[in-house]
Structure formats: C-alpha cells, structure tokens
Structure 1
C-alpha cells in the first residue's frame, strides 16, 4: 500500500471518528465520546509520523566489497572465539589448523598446529561428516569429535569441534561404582537380616529343656541355603560388576515357598502376616533360584515397609497359559499417581531409610528371565499389587 493511499485511508478514519465523537456527545454517551476522541488522537499521531518519515532525508552509507567482507570476517571470528569448544580444520595436505581462541590455547599454537596429538588427524580424516567419534589426547585426555566438511564435495578440508568428555567419563564411572556398591550393600543386608534372625531362633530352640530338633534343623537348613545363595550372588556381582545371566534350573516350589514363609515369619515376628497361595502353580519352576528368591523377597519387603506393621501380604503363584506369575498383594495405603510413575526408577524411594533399589533389581531379574515386573493395581487406602511374570516353558 503506497503512501498516498494509506494517508487517505487514515484521514477518512479520522473524519468518521470525529463524527462519531460529536454524535455520542449530543446523545449523552460521554464514555463513547472519550473513546472516540482517543482513537482520533491515535490516528492523528500515525498521520504525523508518516509525514515525518516521508519528508526526512535518507542517508545511504555505501561500502566497498572489501570493507563489507572484512566486517563480516571480523563478526565470524568474534563468534568463533566465543565458543568454549576448540575448533580445528584439516586441509587437503593433512595439516591441522587452530580456528578459534580455545583451539589456540589448547594446542599452544597461533595458527598451524605443528605437532598434533597422535590419532587426532587420523580420527578427523576417517570419521564421516555429520558423525561423532572419540579420541584420546596426549596424557590420556578424552575428547569427542564432531566432524563436518568445509564444502559439499569434501575436497576443501574438514572442520572438527573437540568436546571435553574426560570429566563426564570420570563422573559416570564414579556414579556407576556408587550404584554398584549400593546394590551390593542393599542385597547383602536384606539377605543377612532374616539369616541372622533364623540363627538366633535356631540357637534359642537348642537352649530349650526339650529342644525341638526338627524345627532347629529346618531353620539351620534354610540358613545354609540362603547363605550359599547370597555367596554366589555376591561373587557374581564382584566378578562381573553387573547382574549375572540367570542360571536356569528346576526349583521345587514347595521348598522355595517354605523358605520364603519361614524367612518372613522370622524377620517380622509381630505384626505383618503373609499368606501364600500356590495351588494353581506347577510343582517345579524353571528359574535361577537365588535371583528369584532375591526378587520375591524384595517385593515382600517393599509391601511390608509400605504398609506398616499391620499390613497383610499375599504371595500368589499361578500358571497362566505359558507364563508363570508371582503376585505380591498388600492391603496397605497404596501409592499415589506421582509415586506410581516413578516406583521403578533406580534409587527412588519415599522412605528416609529406603535405598530405592529393591524394585529396580526385582524388575531386572524378571527381565533377565524373559519376563517383566509390573505394578498392576494400586489405589489410595486399597493397597498395591505387583506381578512378576516370566515364561513357564523354556
């Protein structure tokens, strides 16, 4: 829209606005009158600004091509020097050049890098454009490389950005070691607590005037099985620094359930109750006995800790189609939606004394067996239901 047409349009609007203001004043609509006058003042200001711009002289600063190129070059250099990542270029003669201030500081070179670190030139040359790789600098320093060609044909050399990852790698290694130690300490303490209780129970039975030899023998045999399982479990973690692959073997379900019931009753002598239902389960289960015991025990302990001393816990084992399902149900307070979404996150816990490892480890064990662990039901004041499922036929 040209200047004359816009001026005519705004002038017309100004006339109509003035007429509207007079009409509103005559009819007694004073608020409408004020509004119309404000619009008229606004339009007048626009017309005044348009007239000023139309009559103001225009100054054009002409630059020579060399001056424009120099200005653009200085701007680009300033941008490059702001980058904290060292930038280098590799030319067709396989010479390495420092591009920005960070690169010049890193390689102690003003322009050409006379003695680049071993492997850096080869890594830049061998990495495809748009890809990243890592390289060890002098002294074992680790860096990630992001590579791009300086032209579309790849004949004009390459530019690479060096990103320091040494500090990040050290942090990741420290976190992994910390997590491993927490898993180990958590599982060892979980296993040792009922074993210690069973040991005291067996000792007390033997101190009776008429000792119950059968009960003491059962307690000692359970201690021996669980101690042996804990030893193998800890040794596997020590050797592999990860959850070992499950050693699948037939498990006699009656003995497996009996051990869990005895450990539960010994661990919590007053308060929580455990009911076991396995009449719809096979007599033999194919799984790693030590890992499965650790997973189910973690679920039982989680149910008691979440529900408190008055909670009732049910362990239900059944075969559905070709899957074996172990369900742990409690009648405790349940979980809110916020906690439900995060319950399997490693080291997430709502209890000050909790470690947040048990459920994560139980899910890892289930998935290592080709199954999964899910929270299938929880409602406030109506408890929770966890289901561990894995194939029944292998």
Structure 2
C-alpha cells in the first residue's frame, strides 16, 4: 500500500488562486458583470442574456480544454515525485506527455539518475565494508550506552563466545573470563593485552554519538604472530653478529692450538700436548655449536616442489623408528622437501629423546580441502605447563645440553610455508600438529 503523501500537484492546482477553479470563477464573474452591464444599459433582453451566458459557458469549456494537457503533465510529474519519495529511482515521467514542463521533467529525471547512482555506490560500499568486517582477523564489537552488544564480527564471536552470537549480550558478561580485557574496558584504556593463552592483542576503543546516543566501538587486533616474527628476526640478526665474531676468534685460536700441539709433540711435552688437544677439541665443539645457530639464522626461503611422500617417509625411517598411521596423501602437495624433511626429523628426534618407546611414536597425515595436517605423537609423558608455554621461544630448552632452536626452527620452516605449528599434551605424551596450506605464499626476492 502506498503511504499517504501530501496533496498532489494537480489538487493544489485546483485549490490555489491561480488554479483552474480560479479561472472558472473568473469566467463566472465576467459573465455576471456582462449581465449587470446589460441590465443597466439595455434592460432585460432574453437574446442578449442568452448570448452572454453562452459566451461564459463556452469560455469556461475552452479554458478547461486548454488546461487539460498541462494538468496531464502535472499528473505525470506528480507520479514521478511520488516514486522518488517511495525510493524508486528507476522510473521517469512519461516524456510523450511532457511539453510545457519539460525543464522540470528533465530536472526530476537527472535527480532520479543521481539518486540511483548514489544508492548503488552506497550499497557497494556497504557490501565491501561488511565483507571486510566479516573476513577481518580483528575482533570488532559495537555497544550502546548500556554496554549491550549491537554488532560483532566472526573474529569477536570466536574470541569471546566460541563462535556463537553476541548481539544482545552484556559486554561485561562476555569478557568476564578475560581479566586483562575487563580491566582495559573498565578504564577505557587502549593498548597491548597479554591474555592467559599467551596471545597478544592490541585493543583500540572509540566513542561516538549515533542517533543522539553514546556508543563504543572495540577493536581487538591479534599481534601474536607479528611480534613472534619480529622477535625471531631480531634473534637471527643477533646470531649472525655473534657467529661472525666467534668465527673470527675461533679460526686463529684453533690454528694456534694445532700449531702448539705439534710443537709440544716435537718437544715431547705430554701434558702440554694434552692441553693443546683439549683446546682444539673445545674449539671444534664450539665451532659446530655456532654453525648450528648460524644455519638457523640463515634459513633460506623455501623452494616449493611436489612432495614424493613414499621417498620422504623412507628417508625419515632410515633415521628414526616410528609408525605411519593411515594412508599417504592421494593428491599433490607443494613444499620445500629438504626443509620439510629437516622439520620432521627434528620432531622425531625430540619424540625419541622424550623417553617414549619407539612403538608409541606415530606420524599421521590428514588431507583436508585446503590444508594438510602432519601430526607427530609420542608416549614420553608430554611437557610441563611452563615448558609447553615457552617451547617455541628461541633458545629455551628443558634438556641438559640442548640448544633451544629445534622447535623454533620447526616453527620457522612451517611459517615460511604459510602454515603454523601447535603443541599440546594428550594422554601419555605430546602431540605436535603442523598445518601445511595447499596454496602457499609467493616468495619475494
């Protein structure tokens, strides 16, 4: 049903003093004046009276037919104006009926075209904005003055309510399990937040007035991976500098120790010869230790190629004993085979060093539409909460004599492939899951 509008242009035309009704009244007035003149000048004369009345009627009829095309134009423009008011911008007045008011019709048509274009542009912008919000990893929450959630995106729903709807809930109830977020929201203080799961987020808060009511917009951006990446880059730079300085020292020191050992042997100084041998041995050990760190610091970008899974599994089983669970992937997957082999060897080595029986160490490859999961499990009892929390931090180790770069190197390799690594304790041991994406990022040169 069309909503009620103000009186149409046509009805106004009949009601205003310059409308057709006024012209009819003018015809009547002229007729009465002519009759008054007749009676005052000529007296009663039926023929003259009839002529005057007929002339008035004819004049009224003529002005009616003369105004009819104009009234049709006004009706057409009035219908166009009503369509605009209803939000229909794709209709125009019937141009075959527009003659005298063509300029007005053209203005209305231009207005329709402009409004239609602006509405289409606005719709595309809203669609783009909605797409960005729905796909953004940044959690977004919009609340009213009562802290009731009015809008949220999937990232916010996943962070605060396991993917369930948030609209209509009180913000304080949703963030109650996250004390750091409760404190930041209560003080309206933006900044970095360190959550209990060791994830790092940046909180931004905006206040604005909408429909004369106060609203708050909360944006939580995940920064864990970016900070870890920067931290790893800083460690690698430090390693390269330290490695260079140590190599510059170890090379002449090793050479001097070797020369000293040769001289001690010639002079038959057994204790001195043993001393130089010890120095040479420690220099060699330190050089190997430094080279391992330098290799980690200089990990090249992956060169993806099709993985030959049977050959890869055979190479792994030549080094470490484990059980392959389920079948190998049926489709082609791309990865740097050398780096992937090194990654899996590190994980299998850790599994054996955990004290697990070889029969309890398993490798399972699970194909998904866009990702491949590589899951290594052992029966070594798992990790403590502290070790699990810091296992991927460079140089952190719970092993005596460990370097602390094994799992960090694994993380570096899988993230260079566009994936990620996760660790968790399960019944009886540790489970390490690698996610390898099917479409990997392009390598920049």
Bucket of the pairwise TM-score, normalised by the shorter protein: 0.3 to 0.5
- Select the structure with the greater relative contact order (CA < 8 A; seq sep ≥ 6): 1
- TM normalised by structure 1 equals 0.37
